[in-house]
Structure 1
Amino acid sequence: MVSNLIVLLNAIVNQYFSNTRCLICVTDGNLLYDTKRTPILNLNSMDGNLNISDVLFRSFGCHDFIVQVRNPASTFEVLEKEILYNKERYNRRKYVFLQSSTETEVLLEIFNTSQINFVSDVIAITIDTRQSDNEIFTVWTHPYKGGRERNVPHIIEKWFSKNNSFMLGINLFPDKLRNQAGKTLRVATFQYEPYTIVEQLSSHEYKYMGSEMMTMHSFAMFYNMTVVPVVSNVEQWGEIYSNWTGNGVMGNLVEDRADIGAAALYTWENIYYYLDLSKPTVRTGITCLVPAPKPSNRWLTPLKAFAGATWFAVILVYVTGTITGYLSELVTSLTSRSLKGFATVFTTQKVITTVIKPFINQNVTRTEMLVGTLGKYVMGMVFVATTILVASYSSGLATIMTVPRYDNPVDTVEDFVRSGWKWGATQNAWITSIEKAQEKNYRKLVQRFRALSEEELRTLSLTGEFAFSLERLPHDNFAVGSYIKRDVIQNFHLMRQDFYWEQCVIMARKSSILLPLLDDFVLRVFEAGLISFWQNEAATSYMDHYIQKAVKYFLHHGSERGVVKLKMIHVQGAFGVLFVGNAMACVAFLVEIVAHRWRTKTVIK
């Protein structure tokens, strides 16, 4: 004969668990429940001592529980602890607790546990009257709302075995999350523009701004919750340790000091074991402000009017002209049948001097011209080529002298690795996404990163030998550390390429029942464009406009910009050429004097 409790349980399962993949039935061995509609996983537990990890958490999809044990409160705590420590998620779990041989008060102790604060769909069924012809069962639950009576159990329904019916016929698992009646939502965060801004106006009054802070605040308002900020400006993002403790935003979440949290938290693989991650709120690119490229060496300015290939062409034209001129002189001498004295040093010097003069804008006299018709053609071609080359060189030289030129800027990951610079910020969170990367460049990036205090970073910003991480956000906004001030921003250059990119998420307690609602809300506000609006609003109201504009302006950095007046530094290369030429002339003159005196003394002897 089927007991009345089984009949009641069948009615509940058929109505509320028809779409469940499977049920977990935990008993002391007194109840062997089975149903043809829903698979059942029966677990036998004596005195609440469960060892179910190897059986339960194998991706069976069993997320709902039926429990009838002598120690329901301790069993509930063990189940919640196992759920917390395992990878499988139970965000939509339901519990049905059945009275065993214990008193009603023992069963209702489940509503006094700390775990009840993290579960909304819990009912407890007690037996009020035991009669042969009619048993009356009472269904209890907790309000899961704000106020002093948030977890006080109350009766929501009665079931009578005489006619197998409920007294009221109401929903035993109402949606308690849609209106939480002012229930506290503890939000872990810190001041990080333009994501999260918490400004305390009085002891219990706050002003919220920022893309993620306004998302969490609006989420709380939509579901009638009261936001209580848990701010960790010192530890900031923080970290989580293997013993399920931590500090900062993530530490507050893993130790249940907060319900949800955000402040540019990324989709970190190692954190997923400890916390739940929402749908993405915004895409961010992690890049660097690097020391600005230094001006090119001005002494080499005359050489930079042409590229290397062009200089090679100029030299080739000169060598070709010299050889051709020499051959033309030879041909002319053969034609006139007068080779006497042709292959002299004087003739060679004449050809070299005659061909080079047009290259340096010097006149070629009649006596210096190559003789013969062939010589005239050769010099004509030299004049045409040098006219074009000299004009091109003059315009190119004027350009590079008035528009400043710089050494190759650091714009890519490869450039940064080659530069040898170190980079840093206030937390190691900046390298969490790439610390396990196997690529050579990324391993070097991780090795060169330094997590320093804001005071140390401020000091390094004055040296011009250190790079600083920042986030490249949509709509030309940048999350720049407060240690980058107006007096140093002109000394930096924004890299074109990101080190890597990430998706920002809101984190919650593992297997949080709020996550499905939070995911849906994030997608809705993102689709409406509200996240972008809140980000721009925070950037406009709280971030330094000069720094923001300067970062964008210095994407193509130079300490001098645009056309400038010529200064001594611009023409020092030309004077350098003049100085070198005069020095060589003086040396040649001295050599000639010495050689002349030596020859004179030899002749006298």
Structure 2
Amino acid sequence: MGCSDYIVRMQEPQRFMEAFETVVHKGNVRRSDRKIIFLPYDEEYNEEYDVDLPSLVFSMKGSAYVPNILMIENNNNNVSNVSECKIFDLITHQFVGPDEESHIPKYLDRWDSCSQEFENRANLFPNDMTNLYGKTLKVSCFTYKPYVLLDVDTAIEPKGRDGVEIRIVEELCRWMNCTVEIVREDVEQWGDIYPNETGGIGVLGSVVEDRADVAITALYSWYQEWRVMDFSVPFVRTAITCIAPAPRLLSSWEMPLMPFSWYMWAAVAFTYFYASIGILTAQGFATTSYPFLKSFGMMIGQSQYQNIASNSWKIRSVTGWLLIAGLILSSAYGAGLASTFTVPKYEPSIDTVQDIVDRDMEWGATHDAWIFSLTLSTEPLIKQLVNQFRIYSFDKLKEKSFTRSMAYSIEKLPAGNFAIGEYITQEAMLDMMLMLEDFYYEQCVVMMRKSSPYTEKVSQLVGRLHQSGLLLAWETQIALKHLNYKVQVEVRLSRSKNDVGTTKPLNFNNVVGVFIVYAIGLMVSTVTFVSELYVYHRGMTKRQFEFKYD
């Protein structure tokens, strides 16, 4: 339904308004300044037609959202007028002012067909949305800092509410002379729209079902919602990311393994077995010389007895290269181990979407609105990210924030602040860190019903606020006034926190890994020694038994 204006001539104009209301919701064309003119169906006044058409049409639901409706009626005097002149009354609806009076017909002017002039020369479309005379503007929202704050102490805010979007709405009504009425959706929060697009719950559903004129509270440019609602121009560009468990110092038992990477350890193991097999081959596969033990001893710099090299050039060449390799490896390992004790080593941090997917770490919030922008993606990485999203209650999220078991979605705002759920406390942030990569970014908008008369005015106001810089100023003011400043600082500085603390001498916890290796060596050697004694004594007993009976 792409026409901007309509001229209707029907015997039952109310049928047009019913069809108009249906097509407005099903079509994709949005116009907030449509004009509808109803012409009289009969040229002669039908005195038997006693229905009050203006009251009937103006009281319909669709008329409440079209400010510019003009109905032209035959004047009653046309019946007794013997001349050819016809007089027509021009009527509109009140629209502005108290809600109970908005549907009342309002006489505007009269037009004479003979003089071709208007009697009062009045404005035929007076409802231009510049002055609503206190008309109620129903705003659907819930508390979500810093966008919307309800139940604020009246000693701080006389109206008991504040927030960036609340200030936008208040400024809109100050400009248009309307009255703000809050429609609270604290339970369902953002809510959702039913699949048949005829209703919904929460903030979104309140506009679809016309329980509210305007919906706010961090609403993004979601495609599914655009199909059934009007969007204003964006007023905030926000980036969505997560705060994830911060990397901790590696356990001390891992320190002996830290000097080399896993690939380097694999190369060392290959060198050890290759050299051992080389010595074994050079000695004619004589296992009595213990080639594996000798290779291990040379690799760790252990001195060998004089016959190790023998007179064979094969054994001397293998031994020589192995001693050189052992010297290099021992020196490199010692330097790496010293560096490990000097510079603390941390677990790998969670910085990107790939990191959070690779670790299969769940992330979540109190509502699935955080993934509305991702659900239509066909990328495997994003689809896996969506699958890892979880919805928990406020108390459950607060409890899990101390378990290092999940990440929490937050918003980066233009003025450098963060929109963080209050289930994240300062104590929990001490063990969390802001991710480097953003999941996605979105444009925050104000949502209204399709072809809402408020759309154009809201967009004009947002443009002026951008031009003046007030949106950034409001964000900063509200952050300083209402947000938890300590949590904001913890998030902002989470990547620069120093967990090393003051310099202190090594203690047992720093070298427990070395002692673990030492303890394992003692146990293995003890078991081996006892096993050798057992095998030896068993062999001696067997030989003595055989000698006795021989």
TM-score range, shorter-chain basis? 0.7 to 0.9
Matches within 5 A, 1:286-435: 286-293=240-247, 295-311=249-265, 352=295, 355-356=298-299, 358=301, 392-435=332-375
Measure the CA separation in 1 of the matches of 2:462 and 2:389.
33
- Residues 293 and 557 in structure 1, CA contact (< 8 A), matched pair in contact too: no
Matches within 5 A, 1:436-585: 436-555=376-495, 566-585=506-525
- Residues 170 and 180 in structure 2, CA contact (< 8 A), matched pair in contact too: yes
> What amino acid is aligned across from residue 216 of structure 2 in structure 1?
A
Measure the CA separation in 2 of the matches of 1:266 and 1:170.
42
- Residues 66 and 95 in structure 1, CA contact (< 8 A), matched pair in contact too: yes
Query: Of the candidates 68, 72, 80, which is equivalent to residue 13 of structure 2?
Result: 72
Measure the CA separation in 2 of the matches of 1:150 and 1:344.
105
- Residues 281 and 505 in structure 1, CA contact (< 8 A), matched pair in contact too: yes
Query: Of the candidates 76, 85, 88, which is equivalent to residue 134 of structure 1?
Result: 85
Q: Which residue is 1:228 aligned to?
A: 181
Q: Which residue is 2:125 aligned to?
A: 173
Matches within 5 A, 1:245-284: 245-284=199-238
Q: Where do 5+ consecutive residues of structure 1 fail to align?
A: 1-56, 331-338
Measure the CA separation in 2 of the matches of 1:564 and 1:316.
38
Query: Of the candidates 89, 96, 117, which is equivalent to residue 145 of structure 1?
Result: 96
Q: Which residue is 1:86 aligned to?
A: 27
Identity %: 32
> What amino acid is aligned across from residue 107 of structure 1 in structure 2?
L
Matching of residue 107 in structure 1 with residue 53 in structure 2: yes
Measure the CA separation in 1 of the matches of 2:293 and 2:385.
60
Query: C-alpha displacement at 1:344, in angstroms?
Result: 11
Count the aligned residue pairs: 532
- Residues 140 and 184 in structure 2, CA contact (< 8 A), matched pair in contact too: yes
Measure the CA separation in 1 of the matches of 2:407 and 2:19.
49
Measure the CA separation in 2 of the matches of 1:146 and 1:499.
45
Deviations 1:523-569 (A, max 9, x none): 33234332222223222222222322333444478976686664433
Query: Of the candidates 71, 82, 102, which is equivalent to residue 124 of structure 1?
Result: 71
Query: C-alpha displacement at 1:507, in angstroms?
Result: 0.4
Query: Of the candidates 77, 95, 107, which is equivalent to residue 36 of structure 2?
Result: 95
- Residues 417 and 441 in structure 1, CA contact (< 8 A), matched pair in contact too: yes
Per the alignment, in what secondary structure is the counterpart of residue 177 of structure 1? Answer: coil
Query: C-alpha displacement at 1:261, in angstroms?
Result: 1.2
Query: C-alpha displacement at 1:118, in angstroms?
Result: 1.2
Measure the CA separation in 1 of the matches of 2:219 and 2:287.
82
Query: C-alpha displacement at 1:515, in angstroms?
Result: 0.9
> What amino acid is aligned across from residue 80 of structure 1 in structure 2?
E
Q: Which residue is 1:162 aligned to?
A: 114
User: 1:218/1:561 Cα in 2 relative to 1: closer, same or farther (>3 Å)?
Assistant: farther
Deviations 1:318-359 (A, max 9, x none): 8999999999xx9xxxxxxxx9x9x9977979985884464x
User: 1:345/1:84 Cα in 2 relative to 1: closer, same or farther (>3 Å)?
Assistant: closer
Q: Which residue is 1:29 aligned to?
A: none
Deviations 1:383-436 (A, max 9, x none): 998777656544432343354434333333333334334443222322333334
Deviations 1:148-186 (A, max 9, x none): 755543333333322323345454334621222332221
- Residues 194 and 210 in structure 1, CA contact (< 8 A), matched pair in contact too: yes
* TM-score in terms of structure 2 length: 0.80
Query: C-alpha displacement at 1:575, in angstroms?
Result: 0.9
Measure the CA separation in 2 of the matches of 1:346 and 1:154.
115
- Residues 117 and 144 in structure 1, CA contact (< 8 A), matched pair in contact too: yes
Query: C-alpha displacement at 1:302, in angstroms?
Result: 1.1
Measure the CA separation in 1 of the matches of 2:418 and 2:343.
29
Q: Which residue is 1:13 aligned to?
A: none
Measure the CA separation in 1 of the matches of 2:288 and 2:198.
91
> What amino acid is aligned across from residue 137 of structure 2 in structure 1?
L
> What amino acid is aligned across from residue 172 of structure 1 in structure 2?
L
Measure the CA separation in 1 of the matches of 2:244 and 2:378.
24
Query: Of the candidates 144, 159, 168, which is equivalent to residue 192 of structure 1?
Result: 144
Q: Which residue is 1:40 aligned to?
A: none
Query: C-alpha displacement at 1:265, in angstroms?
Result: 1.3
Deviations 1:349-392 (A, max 9, x none): 9985884464xxx7899999999xxx999999999987776565
Q: CA RMSD in A?
A: 4.3
